[in-house]
Structure 1
């Protein structure tokens, strides 16, 4: 079984839990996800199965879209409502919800929540937090492409952002921008690259005979396609000559991607990843 599975991850499960369930259901040893989704969040989780796992490093579809809402009046040690309250404050309603949201648009450095899997010196931030260390400031270079109001009454919004963005941090920082204490109330990931929620299958519906597999070519169509002959040279990992302006190409055999090649010198390309 080779390809991409789009799962609608349910609340209450880690991304690793989903992989384990699918490994058992599909009897698939080589399987993994392309990026974690918080246990209490739901929505699009991309799973790579079989030969598709070899293409993870070439994944380009990393931008994401989320729907979320803000809880006012307190902050927690996880920056969402599922953590422990650490400070409470009276709510200040004197702000323009839409205007403040728009102020988040653009490239920026975003402070990573301590309750995260971000690693520093080989250890996750959440592990430092469990040891009582909570004053480590770590920032990601991220970009918010767009952000829009879903409901002013519920303080909910939709955000399209780069990989590495923490929606919990946006909710937390919204509080700081409005003289409030805030955290994230709920989270649904509706899109990862081109893969949308309406393409996803519910985990309990996925079985060997019902799973929907998207081909590996979906992940690699941003790389120039080359149909090379003799194709046996590719399977043998030989250096080959290719006339192209691209520095990286994807070699196909009978409509299936079989290798990623990279320019070595002049028109000579070398294999950097076999996909068969």
Structure 2
């Protein structure tokens, strides 16, 4: 018997029109759908007239259910994995099942689709050539500060999910640890009616959030600019090569060559050529 396939199926993060035709076809054709919350997902399936049976797979039962689901897949059933919104496994359940499938040689096929991380990052206006998704910042103040201190030297753009109840506290901690001038973006209610993007320094965005209670509601993605490198942060050999190549090549090309050679960030090196 031919084994089944585990499909990783993204679902809309707000606007139901963001559901792809392929996602609809897969959800309608599989033997069963593993959903983070069946009550939540039933609304989505009913909207598209999908009647495939569902069962719950969430953080409290996914490890104990993984082996049984692998057996079902090996027996010929195909199963779709969905979360409440967006791409499964991105701060959502599913990792134990996908890992178990890989270890058992079961085919895993991921469909492209909605992701709050990528959507917010692409519209943020912050550099996208290198970024770090770090999930949720810790809920407790000291743990949050410690986590930010560990990221203080990160040069890539940092992306977090954040609770609306804690967004002001997190912005305050960013201002304290990374500096009040650190550039941030708060993306809220992406693809929904009240979508907003707040952009500016950590101090300025914190003031906006504190002044408007609506900015402390809904689904939030918090985007933080990485640490900007100064000449003192770049190896002397890299700076020398950058100077030599800039005389021969366009600045962006020169920066890319040096970045690849020394494992640095091309955007930072390019900014240094503009300051020269």
Q: Point out the structure with the larger strand share.
A: 1
Q: One fold, TM greater than 0.5?
A: no
More helix by share: 2
Q: TM-score, normalised by structure 1?
A: 0.22
Q: Which has the higher contact order (CA 8 A, sep 6+)?
A: 1
